[in-house]
């Protein structure tokens, strides 16, 4: 068969972060894909389409006109029902439906789902009344985490070290409404202290295949100090999740989630991300995300030795169980997020970034908050770049990634200097 007889498809990746650059980079390597469009994209993605992620009408019109298979990066359009909308128009789209996306869009829905299906998670109570919440905190003899129910751009979670902090958190979310309507109801749950890791699987509603393991670094400063961010760096695989733990998480958490969703009449298709806390070797679900992690996606994607497009199609068609098993590059991958100083609060933008020309072959610089103008690249967000490198060992991947980090500069460049180091203690 000549190449001409193969029908190539176009892909539309929705989003503008490092995750979306990594997905579009990988999908453009597929022999079945003609053009990858990204909406709205960033300074690193090609074929950018200036449509916002929440403009579902224009996105679906674009996908229809351009014969696209669509891949959704971030949670907001999933929670808004983009998959349902595309399905109504008979357009192929990878990701969970609005109902399935509740696993992320309502933390209360997710906690109740875990409780009724015996999926291990921290014990909790739900409140919409501040006084009742305060009274409850005063009865507890352990530390808590206070969470806004709805989506709050990763900020609606307050980890407390004392009752006073918990009372303040209740005030912030439920009384001051700092996160708006997302904070109409809160969860107060037990704080679980332990080691955190990310476990991400790809599902077609029936089965779920695990992606490579990874570990994020959520705090802004070295040694996990300072406020939480979207993620300051990640590496894959992580020795924190060994083979027996992988099996336990896959069976007791991932498979059980997919099966329980199905039993409740909701087919979960797409990436299912479980944020895991390990306490005394036992995994607990801290949260679900219904999409790839960012920055976990960057090192995971770099290690994929398979055609990601085929697996996205199999997820949509419900045929994952008949796909060949996936294989991973045995090297380690490390992604270091370069941010602008001041992130996660306020930071400057529009600063020219230089040094891309001197990046060597074993690294790839994924863009996030950047834009392209007159052949130059400028900063345009808090997390700006994700420098990702492979190495034979975790140690060498870290060295390779930081070598590349040193070649790139702009005025307000900031990064942690210890990404991946917590993994080294396991070797
Ligand atoms: P989430 O958005 O729910 O993942 O929460 C953000 C971060 O808060 C997590 O990555 C953890 O570091 C922390 N966190 C959330 N829930 C708990 C918990 N029950 N115990 C300890 N830390 C938690
Ligand atoms: N890196 C964590 C997240 O994507 O939510």
The C-alpha atoms of residue 178 and residue 156 are separated, in whole angstroms, by: 9
Cα–Cα distance, 389 to 413 (Å, whole number)? 19
Q: Does pLDDT of 230 surpass 70? A: yes
Integer Cα distance of 405 and 349 in angstroms: 19
Q: Give the pLDDT confidence score for residue 359 in this predicted structure.
A: 87
Predicted confidence (pLDDT) per residue in 70-128, tens digit: 999 999 999 999 999 999 999 999 999 999 999 999 999 999 999 999 999 999 999 99
Q: Please tell me the predicted confidence (pLDDT) of residue 151.
A: 84
Q: Which residue has the tokens 């005030």?
A: 171
108 within domain boundaries: no
Hey, which of 289, 298, 336, 368 would you mutate to test ligand 2's pocket, going by the most ligand atoms within 8 Å of its Cβ?
A: 289
- Domain, as residue range, for 285: 193-322
Segment 1-4 long-range contacts (CB within 8 Å, at least 24 positions apart): none
Q: 294 in ligand 2 pocket by Cβ < 6 Å?
A: yes
107 within a domain of the structure (yes/no): no
Residue 380 contacts by C-beta under 8 Å, 6 or more apart in sequence? Answer: 42, 43, 349, 350, 369, 370, 371
**Same domain as 377, residue 339:** yes
The CATH number for 138's domain is 3.30.1490.20
Say which CATH number the domain at 263 has.
3.30.470.20
Integer angstrom CA distances of residue 32 from 29, 337, 339: 9, 31, 35
Q: Is 223 helix (H, G, I), strand (E, B) or coil?
A: helix
Rounded CA-CA distance 116/142 in Å is: 23
The confidence band for 1, taking pLDDT boundaries of 50, 70 and 90, is: very low
CA distances from 51 to 25, 39, 57, 164 (A): 19, 6, 10, 44
When pLDDT is cut at 50, 70 and 90, the band that residue 208 belongs to is very high
Give the number of other Cβ atoms within 10 Å of residue 366's Cβ. 30
**Phi and psi dihedrals of 237, rounded to 5?**
-75, 165
Same domain, yes or no: 202 and 317: yes
Length of the chain: 427
Per the domain annotation, does 69 fall within a domain?
yes
What is the secondary structure of 176-197 as a DSSP string?
S-TTGGGGSSEEEEE---SEEE
Q: Is there a single domain that holds both residue 198 and residue 316?
A: yes
287 and 166 housed in the same domain = no
Secondary structure (3-state) at 110: helix
Residues 200 and 314 in one domain: yes
Choose among 200, 187, 188, 190: nearest CA to 236. 200
> Best substitution site from 277, 284, 291 to test ligand 1's pocket, by max atoms within 8 Å of Cβ?
277
pTM, 2 dp:
0.95
Ligand 1 pocket, residue 186 CB under 6 Å: no
pLDDT at 353: 98
Residue 284 lies in a domain: yes
Taking the CA atoms of residue 405, residue 410, residue 414 and residue 417 in that order, the dihedral angle to the nearest 10 degrees is: 20
When mean pLDDT is compared across 117-121, 354-358, 381-385, 402-406, the lowest value belongs to 354-358
Question: Ligand 1 centroid to 73 CA: how many Å?
Answer: 22
DSSP string, 228-251: E-S-SEEEES-TTS-HHHHHHHII
SS3 content of the chain, % helix, strand, coil (to 5): 35, 30, 35
Within this chain, do residues 56 and 164 fall inside the same structural domain, yes or no? no
Which residue did the predictor score with more confidence, 58 or 1? 58
pLDDT digits (tens, 9 = 90+) for 340-360: 999 999 999 999 999 998 888
11 vs 69: CA distance, rounded Å: 5
Query: Which pLDDT value is given to residue 5?
Result: 54
Q: How far is the CA of 157 from the centre of ligand 1 (A)?
A: 7
Task: Please state, rounded to an integer, the average pLDDT across all residues of the chain.
Answer: 95
Element (H, E) at 269: strand 269-279
CA–CA dist 412, 70 (Å, integer): 35
Residue 145 CB less than 6 A away from ligand 1: yes
Q: What pLDDT does residue 153 have? A: 73
Q: Is the pLDDT of residue 333 over 50?
A: yes
Q: Is 80 a member of any domain?
A: yes
Both 314 and 198 in one domain: the answer is yes
Domain count, the chain: 4
CB contact at 8 A, 11 and 74: no
Q: Are residues 53 and 91 in the same domain?
A: yes
Is the shortest distance between the CB of 293 and ligand 2 below 6 Å? Answer: yes
Cβ 219 under 6 angstroms from ligand 1? no
């Amino acid at each position: 068969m000549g190449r001409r007889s193969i029908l190539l498809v176009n892909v539309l990746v929705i989003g503008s972060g490092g995750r979306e650059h990594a997905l579009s980079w990988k999908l453009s390597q597929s022999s079945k894909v003609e053009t990858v469009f990204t909406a709205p994209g960033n300074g690193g993605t090609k074929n950018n389409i200036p449509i916002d992620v929440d403009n579902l009408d224009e996105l679906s019109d674009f996908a229809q006109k351009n014969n696209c298979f669509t891949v959704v990066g971030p949670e907001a359009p999933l929670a808004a029902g983009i998959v349902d909308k595309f399905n109504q128009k008979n357009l192929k789209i990878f990701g969970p439906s609005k109902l399935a996306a509740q696993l992320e869009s309502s933390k209360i829905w997710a906690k109740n789902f875990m409780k009724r299906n015996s999926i291990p998670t921290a014990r909790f109570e739900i409140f919409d009344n501040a006084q009742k919440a305060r009274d409850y905190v005063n009865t507890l003899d352990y530390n808590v985490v206070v969470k806004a129910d709805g989506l709050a751009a990763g900020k609606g979670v307050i980890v407390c070290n004392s009752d006073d902090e918990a009372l303040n958190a209740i005030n912030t979310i439920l009384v001051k409404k700092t996160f708006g309507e997302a904070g109409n109801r809160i969860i107060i749950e037990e704080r679980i202290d332990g080691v955190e890791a990310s476990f991400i699987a790809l599902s077609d509603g029936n089965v779920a295949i695990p992606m490579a393991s990874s570990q994020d670094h959520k705090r802004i400063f070295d040694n996990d100090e300072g406020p939480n961010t979207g993620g300051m760096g990640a590496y894959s695989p992580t020795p924190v999740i060994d083979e027996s733990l992988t099996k336990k998480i896959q069976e007791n958490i991932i498979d059980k989630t997919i099966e329980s969703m199905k039993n409740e009449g909701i087919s979960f298709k797409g990436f299912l991300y479980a944020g895991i806390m390990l306490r005394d070797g036992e995994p607990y679900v801290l949260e679900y995300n219904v999409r790839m992690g960012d920055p976990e996606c960057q090192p995971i994607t770099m290690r994929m030795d398979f055609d990601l497009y085929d697996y996205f199609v199999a997820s949509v068609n419900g045929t994952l169980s008949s796909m060949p098993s996936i294989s991973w590059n045995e090297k380690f991958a490390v992604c270091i997020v370069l941010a602008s100083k001041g992130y996660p609060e306020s930071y400057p933008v529009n600063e020219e970034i230089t040094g891309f020309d001197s990046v060597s072959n074993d690294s790839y610089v994924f863009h996030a908050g950047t834009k392209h103008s007159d052949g130059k690249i400028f900063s345009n967000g808090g997390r700006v770049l994700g420098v990702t490198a492979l190495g034979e060992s975790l140690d060498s991947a870290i060295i390779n990634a930081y070598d590349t980090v040193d070649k790139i500069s702009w005025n307000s460049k900031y990064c942690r200097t210890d990404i991946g180091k917590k993994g080294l203690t396991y070797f």
